[in-house]
Chains A and B, each alone.
Chain A
Amino acid sequence: MTTLQAPVSTALPAVPVPMLVRLAIIVVICVALSLISPAFATIDNALNLLRQASLLFLVASGLTLVIIGGGLDLSIGANLTLCACLSASVIKLTGQPVAGVAVALGCGTLVGLTNGLLINRLKIPAFLATFGMLWVAQGIAYWFMAGQVIYGFPAAFRFFGGGFWLGVPVPIWVMLAVGAGCLIFLTRTTIGREVYVMGANEAAASLSGIPIARRRMLLYALSGFAAGLAALIYVARLNAAEPGIGEPLLLPAIAAVLVGGTSLFGGSGSILGTLSGAVILTLIVAALNLLNVGSAWHPFVTGAVILLAMLTDAFAARRAGH
């Protein structure tokens, strides 16, 4: 008779390796660019790059949570647009930045909750629900703005996008705060741990007593909230709002999540990965600019980087015996 069987493989999950690879990539790009241009390795430039990365990261942070939980949120860009337009007009009308903040965060969260509700109640796939929401939110923004651009906000509001605190731009502080929040959520709360189980196998999670529907509502609400927050930062930085601002952010946000090593199939990924993804993508654009590569080439290079990231992860996973 057989005795207790030895496990098929003794490989432990290779969590840190892909993360180290990402850090190495960031270091390599930075060193290379410093060699090419002395202007690169300055504090000012570093802060400038991180500020650019922060917007991308904010949009991608909520998306990371949703994707780890086995979902997808295609409405983040359009949600950002809607939040931006609504809050801009409220600030214009009332002169109160606080009112604008409340409207942006409220609108973002509400759109997220609607996504969750559509998926839970109508039992439609996340792709379809949020794809529909993308058009709806975008459509409302176009109708609401009626071809106008809203610009010129009080200095107190513009501080969110262009201000500094302790010598560091405010968007970077926001990025760090959101990153820390997501990190704690995913690694130190029971709900965060359950999100991984739910993303890895929803049926098993449900039959383990994890309330899937409620967890899903929370994830999409957080994703919408992040879009609202990103909208505030973006409007304050641009000092303007118009219905075209959010949509171009969707694909880069997905790219940041993927380059960060989060699996589109759910159940694995990290917020630090997404942070590194956002930084890598920003660095690459900066490098291309520094090398005078025409902007027509940027999507091509970004695409190549995404594929490369996928390949490395697949290779690492095979090495780990998955």
Chain B
Amino acid sequence: MKPKERSQCGSVDEASSFASVTNSDAGGAPLLRLANIRKSFPGVHALRNASLDIHAGEVHVILGQNGAGKSSLIKVLCGAYIADGGDIEFGGKKVSVRGPADASALGVAVIFQEFSLAPYLDIAQNIFLGREQGFMRLGLVDKAAMRRAARDILRQLGLDYDPATFAADLGVAQQQMVEIAKALSQNARILVMDEPTAAISEREADRLFEVIERLKRQGVAIVYISHRMKEVQALGDRITVMRDGAVVDSFQRGQVSAEEMVRAMIGRSLDSLSRREPRPAGAVVLAARHLRTAKLADISLEVRAGEVVGLAGLVGSGRTEVVRAIFGADPLTAGDLEFDGAPLAARPDRSARKGMALLPEDRKREGLALPLAVRDNATAASMWRLFRRGWFSPATAERVCADLIGRLKVATPGSAQLVRHLSGGNQQKIVLGKWLAAGSRLFMLDEPTRGVDVAAKAEIYRLIDELVRDGAAVLMISSELPELLHLCDRAYVMRDYRIVGHLDRDNLSERAILDLAVHHV
């Protein structure tokens, strides 16, 4: 069956023309088809071979771990990335999506987690932002007409918001609704929602699901990304599982259980990675008790000398916030910290001098002074230790830096090289090196292998091993579960800014981590 020709899918002046699309060709030919999409970045295959069929009037859920390729696929779909290979077909015809304008002309709209409403424009102005010419009368914008049109759209979503309300006065869930209304006013045929329930309450989520049902009836296709199994099963007409940049499975509603889905997300990739011998753990180096910050709720954990402790959880579960709070980068509102058995007032300079090291998630923004030389960065954290009297000696700094370059196998023409000219892996080694020079004994590593090539990754693994063998303690965050399993002796799992579980060596598995990290109920 050939899909119907739709002449007006890119037009933007008719506020409510989407309502005319009422048929649902679920089960028939797809509205949009992504076939064998490939996309790679230096060192990473973000998408290997991803295919996706999107049908009108259907909710299509995409499931996958962090880094499985969900976001990349969506970015290809909405024109933010241009695919290296593969085809995009719309209504059976091959189309080329070379940018966001092409995607929106096809009727693709994305509701991101971060909303883009202008806070001091009202709802109507936000919905029709940039398309005011549709409401021109005598050279002026006819606000009343615009508000009427906005109210119509909102009503089709079953919402009775006052279109004259400022976006700034709306809650998160309401802003989300306005984003959806805005997408519909642009004749969106395919609405992509990236974890839409992550930041809203359960009641608001129910409201969202009602709106999604309405949209389905109107023939809109929904691409829905979520980690919450309950809503995935409740909403998804079709569920596609991604792993390592490829689509590994696709199910119809009710075909599989939540357990089977989780199994598909994990895959068998972990078989290849060895588990290490148990390490003998020493004395408690770090003890955090009932820490709270503006975001974190009641974090308690312990790290002992000679062990690698994982901090697992999905992106945005609060892992980074925990290490920042322990280091003193974010203020604690409650709880206490002990380092080597003595109380510690969390403040970055004190933490560093006591022997704590933090390797931040974003090394370019928080780990390195990019315009400075390797030498300046390598000694940035250890000035107090290398030069106790405060007098700096270039010769000593040079020697320390040369030692680090040798020990970490940093590929650089010399210590005067600017750090910004190094590759990601070598930059990361400098961040680690600056803490080695500081003689740290607790290393908090936030995604230490992100954006690092394979060889450097192996080097970093070796170094972590060496550190704990020498009696250091490591608290490590990683979104790559195989990496966590490979390196860690045990792990804490986080969800929604709290620690929801602890897995010792015998219970540590991808399955166990995901079970805790994902919202089941």
A7 in contact with B422 (CB, 8 Å): yes
A267 in contact with B369 (CB, 8 Å): yes
Q: Is A210 an interface residue (CB 8 A)?
A: yes
CB-CB under 8 A for A207 and B421, given A7-B413, A189-B390, A190-B384: no
Per-position 1/0 for B353-379, Cβ under 8 A of A? 100001010000111111111001101
Q: B384: nearest residue on chain A (CB-CB)?
A: A190
A 171-229 contacts with B by CB, 8 A: 187-194, 196-197, 200-201, 203-211
Query: What distance in Å separates the Cβ of A57 from its nearest Cβ neighbour in chain B?
Result: 24
A205 to B397, CA, bound (A): 17
Residues of A within 8 A of B379 (CB): 193
Q: A263: nearest residue on chain B (CB-CB)?
A: B371
- Tally of contact residues, B, Cβ under 8 A: 54
A205 to B376, CA, bound (A): 11
Q: B368: nearest residue on chain A (CB-CB)?
A: A204
A 1-60 contacts with B by CB, 8 A: 1-13
Q: Is A319 an interface residue (CB 8 A)?
A: no
Residues of B within 8 A of A121 (CB): none
A206 to B358, CA, bound (A): 11
B392 in contact with A187 (CB, 8 Å): yes
A8 to B367, CA, bound (A): 20
A73 to B411, CA, bound (A): 40
Residues of B within 8 A of A2 (CB): 43, 453-455
Residues of B within 8 A of A191 (CB): 390
Query: What distance in Å separates the Cβ of B428 from its nearest Cβ neighbour in chain A?
Result: 12
Per-position 1/0 for B418-432, Cβ under 8 A of A? 101111011000000
B 383-441 contacts with A by CB, 8 A: 383-384, 386-387, 390-394, 397, 409, 411-414, 416-418, 420-423, 425-426, 434, 438
Q: Is B352 an interface residue (CB 8 A)?
A: yes
Q: A192: nearest residue on chain B (CB-CB)?
A: B392
Q: Is A322 an interface residue (CB 8 A)?
A: yes
Which bracket fits the contact residues of A?
A: 35 or more
A207 in contact with B372 (CB, 8 Å): no
Q: Is B78 an interface residue (CB 8 A)?
A: no
Query: What distance in Å separates the Cβ of B401 from its nearest Cβ neighbour in chain A?
Result: 12
Q: Is B380 an interface residue (CB 8 A)?
A: yes
A10 to B417, CA, bound (A): 7
CB-CB under 8 A for A5 and B426, given A194-B383, A208-B380: yes
A148 to B348, CA, bound (A): 50
Residues of A within 8 A of B417 (CB): 7, 10, 12
Residues on B lying within 8 angstroms of A by beta carbon are 43, 327, 329, 348-349, 351-353, 358, 360, 365-373, 376-377, 379-381, 383-384, 386-387, 390-394, 397, 409, 411-414, 416-418, 420-423, 425-426, 434, 438, 453-456
Could you write out 17 A-B pairs with CB less than 8 Å apart? A5-B411, A5-B425, A12-B416, A189-B390, A189-B392, A190-B392, A193-B379, A193-B383, A196-B369, A197-B376, A200-B372, A203-B366, A207-B358, A208-B348, A209-B348, A210-B380, A267-B372
Residues on A lying within 8 angstroms of B by beta carbon are 1-13, 187-194, 196-197, 200-201, 203-211, 267-268, 321-322
